[in-house]
Structure 1
Amino acid sequence: MKYLLGIDLGTSSVKTCLIDYTGTECFSDSEVYSINTPARNWAEQDPEEWWRATKKTIQHCLQKVGRYEVEITGIGFSGQMHGLVILDKDKQVIRPAIIWCDQRSQQQIHSIHNKIHKEEVGRQTLNALSPGFLLPSLMWIKEHEPFNYEKIDKVVLPKDYIRYRITGEIGTDSTDACGTLIFNIERREWAEDLIKKLGINRNLFPLCREPYEIAGYVTRIAANETGLKLATPVVYGGGDQPMQAVGNGILSSGTISCTIGTGGQLFSPVNQPVHDRLYRTNTFCHVKNWYILGANLSAGLSLKWLMENILYIADFTKLNKETSKIPSGSEKLLFLPYLNGDRTPHMDANAKGMFFGLQLKHNRYHMLRAVMEGVAFSLRDSLEIFNELQIPVEQVIASGGFIQSDLWMQIVADVFQKSICTTLTKEHACKGAAIMAAVGTKVFNSMEEAVSEMVKKSDRLVEPNEKNGYVYNEQYELFKSLYIQNRELFMI
Structure 2
Amino acid sequence: MNGTHEMKRTGQMNKMDQMKITGRLKKTMVVTDLSTSAVKSYLYDCDSGAVLADSQVEIPLSVPETGAAETDPSLWWDGLCRTVRELLQGHDGSQVEAIAITNQQITCVFLDEDGQPVAPALLWMDTRCTEEVERLLVRCAEEGMGSGWLTETTGIPPSDSWGLAKLLWLRSRSPELYKRIRRVASVDAYILDKLCGRFVTDETNACFFHLDIRTRKPAADMLAYLNVDVELFPEVVPPGTVVGSLGPEAERQTGLPAGLTVVAAASDQPCAMLGMGVGRSGEAVVNLGTGTFVMAPTVAPLADGRMMTNISALPSQWLMMGTHYLTGGAMSWLRNMLAAAGSSAGFADLSDSAAHVGPGSDGLIFLPNLSGTGTPRWDPDARGLFANLGLHHSLGHMVRSVMESTGYGIRGILDTYAEIGIRFERIVMAGGPTASDVWRQSLADILQRPLELSPVREATPLGAAMLAAAAVGRFAGVDEAVRAWSHPGVVIHPRREFAAVYDKSYKHYSAWLDAEASVRKRMEAE
Under TM normalisation by the shorter chain, which class is it? over 0.9
Corresponding position of 2:135: 111
Determine if contact 1:115/1:197 at 8 Å carries over to the other structure: no
Determine if contact 1:85/1:157 at 8 Å carries over to the other structure: yes
- Of 397, 400, 422, which aligns to 2:453? 422
- Of 462, 478, 484, which aligns to 1:447? 478
Aligned-residue offset at 1:101:
0.3
The 3 A distance-change label for structure 1 pair 92 and 321 is closer
After superposition, where does 1:275-294 map in structure 2 within 5 Å?
Answer: 275-276=303-304, 279-287=305-313, 288=315, 289-294=317-322
Corresponding position of 1:471: 501
Corresponding position of 2:180: 151
- Single out whichever of 135-144 and 113-122 deviates more from structure 2: 113-122
Aligned-residue offset at 1:313:
4.9
What is the DSSP-based 3-state SS (H/G/I as helix, E as strand, rest coil) of the residue aligned with 1:397?
strand
Q: Distance in 1 between matches of 2:354 and 2:171?
A: 48
Which AA in structure 2 matches 1:344? T
Q: In the TM superposition, what whole-angstrom CA distance separates every residue of 1:81-121 from its partner, at most 9, and x where no partner exists? A: 10111122222222111110001111110222244331221
Corresponding position of 2:403: 372
Is 1:177–2:206 an aligned residue pair?
yes
**Cα RMSD between the aligned structures?**
1.6
Q: Distance in 1 between matches of 2:377 and 2:439?
A: 24
- Of 461, 479, 486, which aligns to 2:491? 461
Which AA in structure 2 matches 1:285? I
Corresponding position of 2:32: 7
Aligned-residue offset at 1:211:
1.4
Could you state the TM-score of these two structures normalised by the residue count of structure 2?
Answer: 0.89
Determine if contact 2:156/2:162 at 8 Å carries over to the other structure: no
What is the DSSP-based 3-state SS (H/G/I as helix, E as strand, rest coil) of the residue aligned with 1:215?
strand
- Of 15, 20, 24, which aligns to 2:50? 24
Corresponding position of 2:9: none
Q: Distance in 1 between matches of 2:79 and 2:458?
A: 17
After superposition, where does 1:119-138 map in structure 2 within 5 Å?
Answer: 119-138=148-167
Q: Distance in 1 between matches of 2:472 and 2:233?
A: 26
Aligned-residue offset at 1:145:
1.4
The 3 A distance-change label for structure 1 pair 126 and 76 is same
Determine if contact 1:115/1:198 at 8 Å carries over to the other structure: no
Instruction: Kindly tell me the number of residue pairs found equivalent between the two proteins.
Output: 486
Is 1:230–2:261 an aligned residue pair?
no
Could you state the TM-score of these two structures normalised by the residue count of structure 1?
Answer: 0.95
Determine if contact 2:353/2:399 at 8 Å carries over to the other structure: no
Q: Distance in 1 between matches of 2:408 and 2:293?
A: 12
Is 1:94–2:118 an aligned residue pair?
yes
Which AA in structure 1 matches 2:156? N
Aligned-residue offset at 1:319:
4.2
Corresponding position of 2:289: 261
Q: Distance in 2 between matches of 1:62 and 1:85?
A: 29
What is the DSSP-based 3-state SS (H/G/I as helix, E as strand, rest coil) of the residue aligned with 2:89?
helix
Q: Distance in 2 between matches of 1:158 and 1:392?
A: 33
Q: Distance in 2 between matches of 1:190 and 1:416?
A: 39
Which AA in structure 2 matches 1:345? P
Q: Distance in 2 between matches of 1:239 and 1:329?
A: 35
The 3 A distance-change label for structure 1 pair 252 and 234 is farther
Aligned-residue offset at 1:8:
0.4
Q: In the TM superposition, what whole-angstrom CA distance separates every residue of 1:45-100 from its partner, at most 9, and x where no partner exists? A: 11111100110001010113143xx4121221110110111122222222111110
Aligned-residue offset at 1:488:
2.6
What is the DSSP-based 3-state SS (H/G/I as helix, E as strand, rest coil) of the residue aligned with 2:243?
strand
Q: In the TM superposition, what whole-angstrom CA distance separates every residue of 1:374-415 from its partner, at most 9, and x where no partner exists? A: 121012111111112222311121111111101111000111
Corresponding position of 2:96: 72
Is 1:408–2:408 an aligned residue pair?
no
Which AA in structure 2 matches 1:125? T
The 3 A distance-change label for structure 1 pair 96 and 328 is same
Q: In the TM superposition, what whole-angstrom CA distance separates every residue of 1:227-253 from its partner, at most 9, and x where no partner exists? A: 111111112121110111111112232
Q: Distance in 1 between matches of 2:310 and 2:371?
A: 22
What is the DSSP-based 3-state SS (H/G/I as helix, E as strand, rest coil) of the residue aligned with 1:152?
coil
Aligned-residue offset at 1:322:
4.0
Corresponding position of 1:204: 232
The percentage of counterpart residues that share the same residue type is: 29
Determine if contact 1:410/1:462 at 8 Å carries over to the other structure: yes
Determine if contact 1:105/1:132 at 8 Å carries over to the other structure: no
Determine if contact 1:83/1:133 at 8 Å carries over to the other structure: no
Q: Distance in 2 between matches of 1:32 and 1:253?
A: 36
Aligned-residue offset at 1:325:
2.6
- Of 268, 275, 288, which aligns to 1:247? 275
